[in-house]
Every structure is written in C-alpha cells, then in structure tokens.
Amino acid sequence: MKTYADAEKEFVSSLTKKDSIAILEMSQKCMDSLKAGNVEAALGMLYVIKAGEVVRLTDENKEDFKKHFCTFPVVDYHLEYFSFSTQGCNDLKYKIEFARKGADGSAPAMAFMFNPVKIDGTWYLCVKNRNQSSKEMLNPRESNSPAPGEVRLRE
C-alpha cells in the first residue's frame, strides 16, 4: 500500500519550475480579474473537486462566490504561500484585502485558498474547501496514512 508520504514524494519530485509558474500565472489572472471587479471572468477560471472529480463551478457555487465577492470585493491581494503535496491536494493561499487601508496603514483582510490540481499534464485552478487537507490543518494527515486516489476531470 502506498502511503501519503510516498504519494507526496512521488508527486513533488515530478514537478518542475514550469509547474510553479503555471499555477502562479493562473491564480494571478484570477485574482486580477476579481480585483478589477470582473467576478464572472474569475469564476469562469475556477473548478471544484466533487467525489474525486474536477468539475466546473455549479450555478449554485457561482452565486455563492458572487455574493461573497460583492460583500468582500478584492481591493488588493498578496500571495501568502504555495505548497505542493499530491496530484489532487495542493495549497495556494492569498490574503485578500476587501477595503482600503485605514489611517493606521492596515486593511481588513481574509484568506482565500486555491487547490491547484494537475491532471494529465494540465493544471486546473480549484477552490479549496474546508474539508480538504492543507498544510495549515490543525491535525494534518499522517505520513503513513493511505495515499489519496487520483483525481479525474469530468468533462
């Protein structure tokens, strides 16, 4: 049985500088669209993982995100970090400022995390949900736990 640690080592060792550049460019394009107020264009770039498959956002997902980004518009953003783990579970975290900086130089902000997924050599920019593993979890996955299954693309 392949362990999570084995799967992570195998996946990470297969990546190149081009992979890092690809996910950073994709996410920046999405964040720039959000910052410009073009929420529809940004949402058109996004996917979610459902039952082991990468799928486009549903209409319900889109409406939820539209409401979110109308309430908390992207005034500015900053990359916090990115981390590769497995084919279907990676972290790409941004800090989103949703109002202008105050007199003290700080701005109200929140985190937003993508889950870039690589399928057959192509990266898909998924939105990470609370149930998915991340490097920030309080109880991270054990190294000797079973490796996750491959994630597929549903066309």
Q: Could you read off the pLDDT of 13-71 as tens digits, one per residue?
A: 999 999 999 999 999 999 999 999 999 999 999 999 988 899 999 999 999 999 999 99
Torsion of CA 35, 37, 39, 40, to 10 degrees: -130
Question: What does the block give as tokens for 59?
Answer: 């209409």
Predicted TM-score of the model (pTM): 0.89
**Could you tell me which residues are beta bridge partners of residue 100?**
none
What is the number of structural domains in the chain?
A: 1
Q: Residue 19: inside a domain, yes or no?
A: yes
Average pLDDT over the chain reads 89
Read off the CATH number of the domain in which 55 is found: 3.10.450
Do the domain assignments include residue 153? no
Q: Whole domain around residue 113: which residue ranges?
A: 4-129
Q: Where are the beta strands (DSSP E) in the chain?
A: 46-50, 53-56, 76-86, 89-97, 109-119, 122-127, 152-153
